[in-house]
Structure 1
Amino acid sequence: MATSRKPAKAAKAAAVEIERVQTGVRLEKRLLKVLKGLAEYLDLSLGDLLEGVALHALENKAPFSPATLKRIQDLKKVYGLDLGAVDSHRLSDG
């Protein structure tokens, strides 16, 4: 996920067999729109995008290239997402 498209190297890597489960999560509406737009841009499912972001975060690694970060900023403007990491502990349903 470090680039804006799936790297060729990833296609050659051996597959890791996993078991996925269906889950119901609630997300802030604008955040979800940005994530869906980003997944579409990267040609990933939303679930694959979230898995990648979470796996990178758990290793304290940045999941996105500078070009992808630019796309994220564009999507945030389109969908009016003005929240940042600092807001993550202050969100409440209104």
Structure 2
Amino acid sequence: MTKIERIQTGVRMEKRLVKVLKGTAEYLDMSLGDLLEGIVLHAFDGKSPVFSDETRSKIATLKVVYGCELDATMSHNLSE
């Protein structure tokens, strides 16, 4: 294990996306921070996080439940 220091951060994200992330973290029995760290570390290495087919199916279901229609093509075109 690599020893790290974590800090509390306040970030703003789209509400429905956060609900899907929280649901995914709960489904995977991990914290939201751990899920986000994993996603970001993969992205910084130019890789996609690898979710099982079952997890991707759960994410798709959560997106429907929370009305989250966002996808990667929209990442730089969001406004409040």
Residue in structure 2 matched with residue 54 of structure 1 by the alignment? 40
Structure 1 runs of 4+ off > 3 angstroms? none
Counterpart CA distance in 2 for 1:19 and 1:75 is 31
Which whole-Å CA distance do the structure 1 matches of 2:47 and 2:54 have between them? 16
Partner of 2:14 in structure 1?
A: 28
51, 62, 76: which one aligns with 1:89? 76
Query: Which ranges of structure 1 fall in alignment gaps of 5 or more residues?
Result: 1-14
TM-score between the two structures when normalised by the length of structure 2: 0.93
The 3-state SS of whatever aligns with 2:75 is helix
Identity fraction in percent: 63
TM-score by length of 1: 0.80
Partner of 1:5: none
Which of 1 and 2 has greater Rg?
1
Instruction: Find the aligned partners of 2:52 and 2:23 in 1 and give their Cα distance.
Output: 16
Of 41, 44, 54, 1:67 maps to 54
Task: Determine the C-alpha separation between the residues in 2 that align with 1:16 and 1:69.
Answer: 28
